[in-house]
Amino acid sequence: MTALGVVLLVLGAAVTALMPLWALLTWSDRRERRRIARLSISRCADVARSGQRLCVVEGRSRPAAGPLTAPLSGEPCVWYFSKVTEDVDDDLESSRLVWETGGAMAFAVQDETGSVLVDGSLVHPGHPSRRLEHRPPVRRVVDEEVRSPRQSTHLQDLIARGVLSEKSFERGWLSGSRGWTVREYVLPAGEPLHVQARLGFRDGRPVLGDARRKHLVTGHTQAQLIDHLDQGVRTGAGCLLLGLAGGPLLFAAGYLLVMASGG
């Protein structure tokens, strides 16, 4: 009985201690839901004259200027990012950049009224959205970890095209190299997009870019975002109510069992 009482005490204390965290998460979801619900979606043709600092558009992904092909996979796309790194055993670093390309080119979002450019850095894998579940519909089409460049057709192709040389993959006795990682990400054409970003201009054309951590590029519509956040609010509120009731009850039950066993 004493062991059970101790377990109940610990569980009750743990559940009660988690309540501030649940409250914070629920409040955060509720606040984000209200923020998104207040946003008005602009037509792409009206973005330049909307006068809004934070613009919201919905449409389909399109190339900014003609067809685009990813250099490693050959996938047709509107945006790509390709990277080769050397994995090393080193106290100061775990990888060294060998080659990378893409990642910054703009792409377009198009609706029935026209199109507007979006800064490619907003969908870069190194520039994630604040909410992981609302990530852009970017696909990882190449993902290799090889001990030798001969094991990768993509690396062999880069060498054959003169993009990289054989010397790029030579390893000395003390290099600490463990092999190479080859990755490529693409944003295909025709993907549904919801974009929240700051309006700027590039070469005289309006471009949606970074909005001080309020930017968002996702494949969900505004209605889907609101519905998802509503679910989070309901789940958080339910857990909060159960915890507020259950935590003290578990703690009280454990305390009584420990006291009874001691008596």
> Residue 34 — pLDDT band, cuts 50, 70, 90?
confident
* Cβ 237 vs Cβ 212: under 8 Å: no
Query: pLDDT tens, 105-138?
Result: 999 999 999 999 999 999 998 776 655 567 889 9
Which residues are within 8 A (CB) of 54 and not within 5 positions of it... i.e. 6 or more apart? 39, 196, 197, 198, 211, 214
Provide the pLDDT for residue 195: 92
Q: Residue 159 corresponds to which tokens in the numbers above?
A: 């060498």
**Which residues have C-beta within 8 Å of that of residue 89, sequence separation ≥ 6?**
176, 178
pLDDT at position 7 is 67
CA separation for the pair 41, 46 (Å, rounded): 10
Q: Within the chain, what is the greatest distance between any pair of CA atoms?
A: 83
CB neighbourhood size of 128 (10 A): 12
Output DSSP code: residue 199: E
Q: 18: how many CB neighbours lie within 10 A of its CB?
A: 14
Is residue 132 classed exposed, middle or buried when 0-12, 13-18 and 19+ CB atoms within 10 A define those classes? Answer: exposed
For the segment 166-182, the average pLDDT, to the nearest whole number, is 75
User: What is the 8-class DSSP label of residue 146?
Assistant: E
- For 145-159, the pLDDT digits (tens) are 998 888 899 999 999
**CA–CA distance, 219 with 180 (Å, rounded to integer):** 31
In the chain, % helix, strand, coil (3-state, to 5) comes to 40, 30, 30
Q: Which tokens is 149 given?
A: 């460049």
* CB distance 63 to 189 below 8 Å: yes
Query: Which amino acid would we find at residue 109?
Result: V
Tokens representing 129?
A: 């959205």
Residue 142 to residue 158: CA distance in whole angstroms: 14
* CA-to-CA dists, residue 98 to 45, 86, 182, angstroms: 41, 7, 10
Beta bridge partners of 56: 196
Cα Rg of the chain, angstroms: 26
pLDDT at 57: 93
Integer Cα distance of 18 and 87 in angstroms: 39
Please enumerate in sequence order all residues whose Cβ is within 8 A of that of 105, keeping only pairs 6 or more positions apart, or say none.
64, 68, 79, 80, 120
Between CA 228 and CA 238 the distance in angstroms is 16
- Res 30: pLDDT: 80
Tell me: the pLDDT tens digits for 181-211? 999 999 999 999 999 988 888 877 889 987 6
